[in-house]
Structure 1
Amino acid sequence: MNKLLIILLFPLLLVSQNTIKIDGFFDDWNTNMITYIDDYFDSDGIELLEFSVCHDDEYLYVKVKLDVEIDLTEDYFNSAELMIHIDADNNQSTGFSINNIGSEYGINFYNKFIFDDTNYPNVDTLSLYDLDVIPLPTYTSDEFEIAINRSLFSDTISLSIKEYLGNDKMPDGGDIFTYVFDDVCSEFTPVVDFSRNDATYLRLFNYNVWSNGLINNNRVDEHRRILESVSPDIITYQECGNTTYNDVLSFLNTSSVYYPHIYPDLNSGNLIISKYPSLQSWQVSNRIDAELIDLPDNIYATDILIINGHPPCCSNNEGRQENFDALIKFILDAKSQGGVIDLPINTPISFSGDMNLVGYSEQYYTIVNGTISDTETFGPGGFPDWDDTPLEDQRCYFNEKNIAYTWDKSNPSSGDYPPGRLDFVFFTNSVMSVDKSFILSTEHMSSSLLDQNNLFWDDTKIASDHFPVVVDFILETVNQTNVEEYKVDKSLLYITDLLGRKVNIKFNQTLLFIYDDGNTERKYIIR
């Protein structure tokens, strides 16, 4: 006999409301969430342990836990074919019959498509994007959280989760898991605007511009608007392998902010742009570069080491691991005397870029915890922060949604990879902190937020297949509290044209005024 498990969210549960953030971490799933716990040792392979369910006005959230790590969309190891079946109308007699429910939508993660059984026995296939399916983390894990757009679901649905290679399923024993979209169990998070809360906060802007986007005439205007909207201090770009120094000058020509310091690496494709000069440069590995940025001494009590990375993609787990091993060796070298780099103690370190973390989770934990894989080549490893603790992974979200993916497929179809969190900012949180951070996705912005920042809804859609990440760092400053007072006694050092040539004041052309406080002003003087 089938047993019906009806899950209702009564008002008394509102005291345990949480904000579910789809970021690949699970500390926001509290013990009061609706959870089904599976029988143990009932599989011929990988064991499904439990799943939890929550929702807000837009998404159904599902968290699945297994007994071993898997990759949802690949078979690197511990091969698995996980599916979520959704009885969208809660009617056993419609859809595809599976585990005592009538499934309208079968989400097949391994093959990367959705069975559309709404007109069963006629079966169609959909892209994962058709139901806005967002599974995180993108690397291997024994736990995943998944957002699914609920606009095609009735107020009551039934769920079944099955791992097809081991033939384990939840629920089992004839149970039926029925979920009612009653009071939301995930709270709304306020909008994060673009403003900088303090002029001394150092704004980092990280962006994979997709195949030299800064020089692509079909996308350069979008890139310019995006950059202008955030006015960062330091920029780390990726995929700029054919973008020369002069190309960058041309791209920045319309910017209201002056960036006189440009550091391209045409081999790695990484590009660092800064308001402030670099004291020294390093090539950490074939896909990771570093610049020690000389911050103004009358504002900041320290300089900052900016590391920009773009390790190889996709199935190249070995290549990624080698780059991250080299990163940790470099940072540990920076913390100690001798070697290729010596930093003053407690110099802030930021590592940003498109990390391509789509394989083994070991690569992520190498960055965070300093656990080197190839110890014979790169040394024993160790915690990378100055206080011998892990690096902080700054979790960034869309300005108006609690979702953290930074890549999606342009013009997706059945079989394409789902959105993923590929772009990261790691930093030494023992000596610096973050005030504000966000992922800039114009496709996920309200018209008011777009208008405030002079953006169009499709700017990020056109510019790249990645989304930019913005982080405002709080660094130790000198005694003064107001950055404006530094401008009172500044002296003009010299004037240049846009090519950097020293000139006298000229009329009717753009000139750069260089001051002794490290600031540069762009002026156009009309006769």
Structure 2
Amino acid sequence: MKNFILTLSVFAALPVWGQVQLDNQFEDWSAIPHSTSTDGGPFVAAAVTSNADWLYLHIEVEEEVALDENALPNDYRILLDLDDDPSTGVDYASQGLGVDLLINLATRQAIRYTNGSGIESFNEIGMRAAPTYSGNEFELAFDRGLTQVAGDGVRVKWYDNADQVGFPEAGLQHTLLDAPDSFAPVSIARPPGTLNRVAFWNVNNRMDELFAQQAMKRILQAVDPDILALSEVSNVSAAYVTGLLNDWLPLEGNATWNVVKDDWDLMVASKGAILSSFPSVMRQFPALVEGHPGWGVPLLITSSHLKCCGGSSNEAQRQAEADEYMAFLRDAMNGEGELALAPNSPVVYGGDLNMVGLDDPIYTLVSGDISDETTYGPDFNPDWDGTALTEQPLLQTDHGFDFTWMSSNINSEWMPGKLDYLITSDASVELMAGFVVRTEEMSEARLSELGLEADDALDASDHFLVVGDLGLGDLLGSAPDTDEDGVNDYEDNCAYAENPGQADFNGDGIGDACSDADGDGLSDALEINVYGTDPLDADSDG
């Protein structure tokens, strides 16, 4: 079993009062008491906490599992005694609890024994979980109202039906906390140091639907990205989207948005020039984009939409797609492929990764550990400083959860999950801020301030917009300066002769120190500054 450690960027304070954020980071559970096991069973540690609205569970297991998927099967159940009363509910599997609600993770079903009967979906009971892919550690949340938590306390027990083992033996007793959710809404204003705002959005093929367009327009006007990477746009052309963006987000001086599309359902749109794009990478669309001048180099922006859903063939294809992109990036960094990246170029990868089932694809995309090296070549360190890339753990603007996809069907067997990601080269890119736009959780005052409506996010798509504010990382300060004149080679109009003033008398883009406009063997700088002759007249120097 591999040691899976994602490189994560942390820029949010940990919550207080025992509250947690559902974000696949577990540091906020460290102050909460856990029950631990040393008996060699499948469960290692478990904890419970709550606030006025949510009941939270934390579980660590011995072997890697896909909690509610079939990729790495398990037969785990969660026994919820919602009033901590053994006389109500049922004594499921003779575990000694009055189980009011049974969670069958393998079948993605909730079975209610108290205040109702029969099978409910995870959505109907307000269940959430992170991560959506396989691992040894998970956190879950239950909406207290929809779950029907009653009384002053609950008792929770994990149960492995295969081995008929319950953990902990007496269950986890928890006295419910009524403190309000302490999560503070995230500002969507660009923080100081931001050079470019990027956004990734799976628009669910709704860009040609008027009702969805109205919601999209309001969201994009509130966020105002500089670079927008889209997926599920197979039914519209780049020209069509260009027209929408020019209408929704008009640029100064009658400038136009630049939009390119691959051969299927991915696009990259930018206020700046798109220098080149590479549709050959399967279900991923890298484009070299001219961003803010402060970068000194173009940005590599990749819009992605990896293969959806579970099943062995889908799992294999999703992994192959991750391998293929990392091979593209490795070759680009080494100057050996379709693209030769300038050293320390910002690498920004995101979109709908459909990360369900096995964790291997996200592991590859972050670490550079290629699964099929026979086909795609050797592993490599994908950041410019010889480390892994960074998956940015973004939360919703107004709720401490990270999920980016949500079905509008309450009966769907699939609970909301994080499918959309932002991954960066943190050696060259510093994430100044980031967030996921879910309007449903915003207050009326905040909606009014931003010009949004509560239903906008789900009217626009079943995926939420993912936004990142990018600034300079440490290594971009060390861009090469061959002539040591204080101007890096990417901006220097004469990289091999010292010319800190960047003089270019005829505006041809070549610095006077390197240019000989009249072909007389003297540089334009010498003729102008030393000899006082005409750099456009070969005879003026005698």
Query: TM-score normalized by structure 1?
Result: 0.81
Deviations 1:247-289 (A, max 9, x none): 2133224314337343343533011110001112112522011
Which position in structure 2 is the counterpart of 1:403?
401
CA distance in structure 2 between the aligned counterparts of 1:403 and 1:244, rounded to whole angstroms: 34
1:272 to 268, 273, 276: 268
CA distance in structure 1 between the aligned counterparts of 2:402 and 2:317, rounded to whole angstroms: 25
Contact 2:19 2:50 in 1 (8 A): no
Which position in structure 1 is the counterpart of 2:120?
126
Contact 2:69 2:356 in 1 (8 A): no
Which position in structure 1 is the counterpart of 2:362?
364
Name the SS of the counterpart of 2:413 in structure 1. coil
Instruction: After TM superposition, list the pairs within 5 Å mapping 1:63-82 onto structure 2.
Output: 63-77=58-72, 79-82=73-76
Which position in structure 2 is the counterpart of 1:147?
141
Greater Cα shift, 155-164 or 422-431: 155-164
Contact 1:213 1:223 in 2 (8 A): no
Which position in structure 2 is the counterpart of 1:26?
26
Which position in structure 1 is the counterpart of 2:241?
248
Instruction: After TM superposition, list the pairs within 5 Å mapping 1:211-360 onto structure 2.
Output: 212-258=205-251, 260-297=256-293, 299-315=294-310, 316-360=314-358
Name the SS of the counterpart of 2:136 in structure 1. strand
Contact 1:88 1:158 in 2 (8 A): yes
Name the SS of the counterpart of 2:34 in structure 1. strand
Q: List runs of 5+ in structure 2 lacking aligned partners.
A: 1-13, 478-485, 487-542
Q: Which amino acid in 2 is paired with 1:276?
A: G
Q: Which amino acid in 1 is paired with 2:385?
A: D
Deviations 1:488-523 (A, max 9, x none): xxxxxxxxxxxxxxxxxxxxxxxxxxxxxxxxxxxx
Which of the pair is proportionally richer in strand? 1
Contact 1:113 1:127 in 2 (8 A): yes
Contact 1:334 1:343 in 2 (8 A): yes
Name the SS of the counterpart of 1:327 in structure 2. helix
Q: Which amino acid in 2 is paired with 1:67?
A: E
1:422 Cα shift? 0.5
CA distance in structure 2 between the aligned counterparts of 1:305 and 1:266, rounded to whole angstroms: 15
Contact 1:351 1:427 in 2 (8 A): yes
Whether 1:136 and 2:134 are equivalent positions in the alignment is no
Instruction: After TM superposition, list the pairs within 5 Å mapping 1:377-456 onto structure 2.
Output: 377-413=375-411, 416-456=413-453
Report sequence identity in percent. Answer: 27
Contact 1:355 1:422 in 2 (8 A): yes
Q: How many residues align?
A: 453
Name the SS of the counterpart of 1:260 in structure 2. coil
1:302 Cα shift? 2.7
CA distance in structure 2 between the aligned counterparts of 1:390 and 1:307, rounded to whole angstroms: 17
Whether 1:209 and 2:207 are equivalent positions in the alignment is no
Q: List runs of 5+ in structure 1 lacking aligned partners.
A: 1-13, 480-527
Contact 2:284 2:325 in 1 (8 A): yes
Structure 2 vs 1, CA of residues 335 and 383 (structure 1 numbering), >3 Å: closer, same or farther? same
Which position in structure 2 is the counterpart of 1:36?
35
Contact 1:48 1:67 in 2 (8 A): yes
Whether 1:162 and 2:156 are equivalent positions in the alignment is no
Structure 2 vs 1, CA of residues 268 and 15 (structure 1 numbering), >3 Å: closer, same or farther? closer
Greater Cα shift, 194-203 or 124-133: 194-203
Contact 1:241 1:266 in 2 (8 A): no
CA distance in structure 1 between the aligned counterparts of 2:163 and 2:276, rounded to whole angstroms: 54
Name the SS of the counterpart of 2:173 in structure 1. strand
CA distance in structure 1 between the aligned counterparts of 2:52 and 2:437, rounded to whole angstroms: 22
RMSD: 2.4
1:296 Cα shift? 4.5
Contact 1:33 1:54 in 2 (8 A): yes
CA distance in structure 2 between the aligned counterparts of 1:144 and 1:442, rounded to whole angstroms: 26
Structure 2 vs 1, CA of residues 324 and 192 (structure 1 numbering), >3 Å: closer, same or farther? same
Deviations 1:126-169 (A, max 9, x none): 22122321111111111111011123322211111112122221
Contact 1:243 1:266 in 2 (8 A): no
Whether 1:60 and 2:51 are equivalent positions in the alignment is no
CA distance in structure 2 between the aligned counterparts of 1:249 and 1:15, rounded to whole angstroms: 42
CA distance in structure 2 between the aligned counterparts of 1:220 and 1:356, rounded to whole angstroms: 24
Query: TM-score normalized by structure 2?
Result: 0.79
Runs of 4+ in 1 over 6 A off after TM superposition: 476-479
CA distance in structure 2 between the aligned counterparts of 1:469 and 1:15, rounded to whole angstroms: 22
Contact 1:238 1:310 in 2 (8 A): yes
Name the SS of the counterpart of 2:433 in structure 1. strand
1:464 to 456, 461, 464: 461
Which position in structure 1 is the counterpart of 2:472?
475
Name the SS of the counterpart of 1:403 in structure 2. coil
Name the SS of the counterpart of 1:247 in structure 2. helix
Whether 1:181 and 2:161 are equivalent positions in the alignment is no
Contact 1:262 1:271 in 2 (8 A): no
